[in-house]
Structure 1
Amino acid sequence: MPFTRAMVIKAAVGFASLFALAPAAHAQMAKDKFTILVVTDLSSVFSDTSGKGSVEGVKMAVEDFGGQVNGVPIRVIVLDNKLDVALTVNKTRELIEKEGVNLITDVTSSAAAIAVSKLANEYKVTTTFVSPGTTALTNDACSKYTWHYAWDTTAMAAAAGKVTDAGAKKWYFITADYAFGHSLLEQFEKTVKARGGTVLGNDMVPFPNDDFSSYLLKAQSAGAQAVGILNSGQDLRNAVKQAGEFGLMASGIEVVPGQMNFSDIRATGIDIWSGVTAGEIWYWNYDDQTRAWAERFKQRTGYMPGSLHAGNYSAVTQILNTVKRIGTDNPDKIAEALEGTSFNDFFARNATWRKKDHRVVRDMYVIKVKKADEVKTPEDYFQVVATVPGKDVFIPEDQSTCKHNW
C-alpha cells in the first residue's frame, strides 16, 4: 500500500514523541565528559616501571573503547607525581576541583597512594591503584571509592614461599625504609615462617640508595640461604647487581626481589638477573591473549609492556565497561555495581572485586629469570614456574581490617 502524505506526517509525529520521551544518551552522566587522571612517575626512579608506559596503557584503553562512554567524550590528563607525597596531594586535589576528575588510576608510591585514598573518599572519585603495593590500601586506608587493583606485598611474598619450600630455609632481608618496604617485610617474614623457615636478620636501608655492599656482606656472613631484597626500581637494580658482584648467586644463595619488574631486566641486562626468583603480576609472554595485547603495545611504544602498563589498561577498561553497563558516572553506583562481581581479561585471571575491602583478588605468578642462552624470543626473559590462585596469596577476607563503613 502506498504511503499517503497524512500517513508520513503521522509517523513522523510518532517518532518525535518517542524521542521526546526517551532520555538523551548521556542523561545519566552528571558531567559532560569523563575525565581520567593518571597519577604516575614520569621523571624519577619508577618512570620506566610505570610512567609513560602506564599512560600509554590508559590511552590504548580509551581508544579501544571508542573515545566516549554513554555519549560523553573520555579525556585523559596526567600528573607527574615525582614520588613526592605533598606534590601528589596538592596537585591531585587541584585537578579534581578544576577538571572534574571521574577516575584516578596508577598512583605511583605507596605513601602517595594512601594520601590519594583519603582524597578519593573526600571527593568521591573512583580510584584504581595499580602501582602501589602497600596492604594499607585494603586495610585501614580502604575506601568506598578506591580499589587495590593489581597486586600487593602479600601477593609478592608467594615467591618467598616457593623458595622456602624448595629448601632455602634461612633468610636475611634487606628492606627499604618506607611504607612499601615495611609492608613487604611483614608479609615476607610471615610467609617464610609459615613455611618452616627462619629469619636470620634484617637491615632497614634508606631510600633511595646506591650502595648495598655492607648489607649483602652481612647476609652472606650470617649464612643466609636466601636474601630477600625488599625494594624496587633503581635501588633493586643496584642491589641485585652488587649481589652478583659479591658472588651471592654463584655460591648458591637465592636472591628474591620484593618487586621485580620487566623493565628492570631490560635496563640492566639479563645476565645480572639470571636465576632470580620473584613474584609477578603479569607477563607478556604468558599466553596468546597476553602476547596479542603486548604486540599492540609494542607497535605504539617500541618496547614490550611491563605488568603495570597492562594493569592500567585493564583497570580503565573495567571501569569504563561498568560505567557503560550501569549508564551513569555516579561514583556510588559504580562502587555498588563492582562489589562482589567477577571478571577475566588478558591481565587479570579469575578476578573478583572483593566487597569487604575493595581488594581485586586475582591469580598471581612466580617467575624465574632465564639464562641468556635460554632466551629464544626477544625479551622473553621469564619462565613462569607457578600460577597461584588469588585466594592463596592475598590477605584472607576475614583478616582484613577494613571497616567497610559505607
Structure 2
Amino acid sequence: MGGFLAGGAAPTRRAVIGGGLALGALAGLGRPARAAEPIRIGFPVPITGPFGAEAKDQVRSAELAVRQFNEAGGLGGRMAELLVRDDKLNPGEAATRTLELIEKDRAHFIVGALSSAVQLSVNEITRSRKVLYVSISQSDTINEAKDFGRTTFHEALNPHMTTAAVAKHAFRKGSRIAYLAADYAYGHEMLRGFKRAAAAIGAETAGEILHPFGAPDYSTFMPRLRAMRPDILCICNFGRDQANAIKQANDFGMKRASRLVVPVLLHNQRLAAGPDAFEGVVGAANYFWRLEETVPSARAFNDAFRAAHGGAVPTDYGAYAYTAVRALLMAVTKAGGTDTEAVVTALEGLTYDVAKGPEHYRACDHQAVQSVLVLESKKKSEMAGEADLFTILAIEPGSEAALRSCEELGHRA
C-alpha cells in the first residue's frame, strides 16, 4: 500500500530563495534552496484482515496528529509525513514492510502494529537498525528485557494493567470464573493477567478453553463453558473474534447465569454486534470519547477529530495512534531534530497530555504510564446516540505501581 501524508494530500513546499546570486550565465536569477527534509514516520498496521476496523481508525487518528503538527508550523517549517503500510496482520509481512520503510523510504521513526506477535517482529527489525519504535498494541512481552531495547517504546496499555483494572471492579472473593481465550499471545497474556488478579482477590477458576484465532463458530464451546457453572465468563480475544464470541454467548443464554467480562471492550466490535448482544458486558479501554466531560485534552482531541471526519468520534485504538504520534513529535521538537538518540532521550523525559490526561514512559521498559478506563456496555434504551456505547464505571489512575516490576521483567536496577 502506498504511503499517505496527513490529510491524504502532499503538503505545499515553499521554495526558499537564496540570498546570493549565481554568477555567469545565471547572473540575476535566484537559486532555490533545497526544501527541508520531512520528518518521516513509518506506520505499519493491518489494514486488511480481521483487525482492519481498528487499524483504519489508527490511520485516521495518526493522520490527525501529523496534520496538527504541520499546521502549527512543524519543526521550524520542517513538516512531518505519515507513511502507511499494510502489514496484513502477519509478522513476516510486517518485518518486510518495516525494513522497506527504514531502508527504502528512509523513515526516521516507526509507529504501529496491532498484534502481539506482529509488534515483536517490527521491534526486532527496528531494534537491530537502532530506529525508534512506538508500539500501539497491547503486549506484556515487549516490555520484558529479552525483547526490549533502548529504542523500544510501548504506548498501549498492557495485559497486566488491563486485566488488573477489570478484575478489581468485576471479580469478588469466591467468584467462579470460566475463561474462553484465543490461542495466541494476546489471549494467553490476558488469561495470565486475569488469573493473577483473580488469585489476589480470592476468586476461583472454574475452567478454561482455548479457541483458534479467527474461529467462525463458538457454539461447540458454549455447552462446556455453561457446564462449568461460572459466575463470570471472561472472553479474552480481539477484533471480530470478540464480537462473534459475545454474540454466540448471548444466543446460548450465558448471560442468564454468568456476567460477561472482556479484558478490552472494543468500540468497533460493540458497534458491529449491536447493543443487545453486548448489553452489560464489562471491560477496559484506554480511551472513550466521553472522557471529554472531565478531561480538557479529550475534548480538544474529539473536537479536532469531529471536524476532520464529519462529526464522528475517535475510538479506543485510534487514540493509541494519536497519543503515540503526538508524543513522538513533541519529543522531536524538544530534541530539535530527528537524531535517534536525542529523540529517545527527549521521549524518556517527556510528560504529555494530549487526549486522556497526563502520561509518561517508565524508565526501565518505556511502558506508557496512563489511566485505565473500566467500562460497561449500555442498554439500547440508555444510549443518547449511536456513539454513546458505554458507561464509565471507573478510571484507574496511571501509576507505576499498577505495572509489573522492572525486576520481574528482567531489567536490572
TM-score normalised according to structure 2 size: 0.85
Shift of residue 156, structure 1, vs aligned partner: 1.9
Instruction: Measure, in 2, the Cα distance between the counterparts of 1:380 and 1:162.
Output: 21
Where do 1:280-359 residues align within 5 Å? 280-288=285-293, 289=296, 290-302=298-310, 303-347=312-356, 349-359=357-367
Q: Give the SS at the match of 1:287.
A: helix
- Counterpart contact for 1:168–1:226, Cα < 8 Å: no
Where do 1:88-237 residues align within 5 Å? 88-130=94-136, 132-139=137-144, 140-157=146-163, 158-165=165-172, 169-237=175-243
- Counterpart contact for 1:254–1:276, Cα < 8 Å: yes
- Counterpart contact for 2:260–2:282, Cα < 8 Å: yes
- Higher deviation after alignment, 291-300 or 174-183: 291-300
Q: Give the SS at the match of 1:325.
A: helix
CA, structure 1 residues 338+179, in 2 after alignment: closer, same or farther (shift >3 Å)? same
Instruction: Measure, in 1, the Cα distance between the counterparts of 2:308 and 2:96.
Output: 32
- Counterpart contact for 1:352–1:360, Cα < 8 Å: yes
- Higher deviation after alignment, 58-67 or 181-190: 58-67
Residue aligning to 1:384: 392
Shift of residue 70, structure 1, vs aligned partner: 4.1
Residue aligning to 1:7: none
Instruction: Measure, in 2, the Cα distance between the counterparts of 1:393 and 1:45.
Output: 30
Shift of residue 399, structure 1, vs aligned partner: 2.6
AA paired with 2:256?
A
Matched pairs, number: 373
Residue 375, structure 1, aligned to residue 383, structure 2: yes
AA paired with 2:219?
S
Instruction: Measure, in 1, the Cα distance between the counterparts of 2:394 and 2:197.
Output: 16
Instruction: Measure, in 1, the Cα distance between the counterparts of 2:117 and 2:85.
Output: 16
- Counterpart contact for 1:70–1:327, Cα < 8 Å: no
Instruction: Measure, in 2, the Cα distance between the counterparts of 1:324 and 1:291.
Output: 24
Instruction: Measure, in 1, the Cα distance between the counterparts of 2:224 and 2:349.
Output: 46
Residue 69, structure 1, aligned to residue 75, structure 2: yes
- Higher deviation after alignment, 287-296 or 192-201: 287-296
Residue aligning to 1:59: 63
Shift of residue 271, structure 1, vs aligned partner: 1.3
Residue aligning to 2:269: 264
- Higher deviation after alignment, 133-142 or 297-306: 297-306
CA, structure 1 residues 213+403, in 2 after alignment: closer, same or farther (shift >3 Å)? farther
Instruction: Measure, in 1, the Cα distance between the counterparts of 2:132 and 2:248.
Output: 41
Q: Give the SS at the match of 1:311.
A: helix
- Counterpart contact for 2:174–2:202, Cα < 8 Å: no
Shift of residue 138, structure 1, vs aligned partner: 0.6
Summarize deviations over 1:38-71 as a string: whole Å, max 9, x none. 111111111112x222111111111111263244
- Counterpart contact for 2:174–2:204, Cα < 8 Å: no
- Counterpart contact for 2:282–2:376, Cα < 8 Å: yes
- Counterpart contact for 2:57–2:318, Cα < 8 Å: yes
Instruction: Measure, in 1, the Cα distance between the counterparts of 2:292 and 2:116.
Output: 30
Over aligned residues, Cα RMSD in angstroms?
2.2
- Counterpart contact for 2:373–2:395, Cα < 8 Å: yes
Residue aligning to 2:53: 48
Instruction: Measure, in 2, the Cα distance between the counterparts of 1:80 and 1:402.
Output: 33
Instruction: Measure, in 2, the Cα distance between the counterparts of 1:177 and 1:126.
Output: 30
Shift of residue 320, structure 1, vs aligned partner: 0.8
Q: Give the SS at the match of 1:69.
A: coil
Instruction: Measure, in 2, the Cα distance between the counterparts of 1:298 and 1:48.
Output: 18
Summarize deviations over 1:261-305 as a string: whole Å, max 9, x none. 111111121111010000111111112432442243234334322
CA, structure 1 residues 193+341, in 2 after alignment: closer, same or farther (shift >3 Å)? same
Instruction: Measure, in 1, the Cα distance between the counterparts of 2:373 and 2:131.
Output: 31
- Higher deviation after alignment, 227-236 or 258-267: 258-267
Greater than 4 Å deviation, 4+ residue runs: none
- Counterpart contact for 2:378–2:390, Cα < 8 Å: yes
CA, structure 1 residues 168+70, in 2 after alignment: closer, same or farther (shift >3 Å)? farther
Shift of residue 403, structure 1, vs aligned partner: 5.3
TM-score normalised according to structure 1 size: 0.87
Residue 276, structure 1, aligned to residue 285, structure 2: no
- Counterpart contact for 1:81–1:108, Cα < 8 Å: no
Shift of residue 188, structure 1, vs aligned partner: 0.9
Shift of residue 312, structure 1, vs aligned partner: 0.9
Structure 1 unaligned residues grouped into runs of 5+? 1-15, 17-30
AA paired with 2:371?
D
Instruction: Measure, in 2, the Cα distance between the counterparts of 1:63 and 1:344.
Output: 18
Residue aligning to 2:408: 399
Shift of residue 216, structure 1, vs aligned partner: 2.3
AA paired with 1:356?
C
Instruction: Measure, in 2, the Cα distance between the counterparts of 1:244 and 1:218.
Output: 15
AA paired with 1:39?
P
Instruction: Measure, in 2, the Cα distance between the counterparts of 1:38 and 1:381.
Output: 29
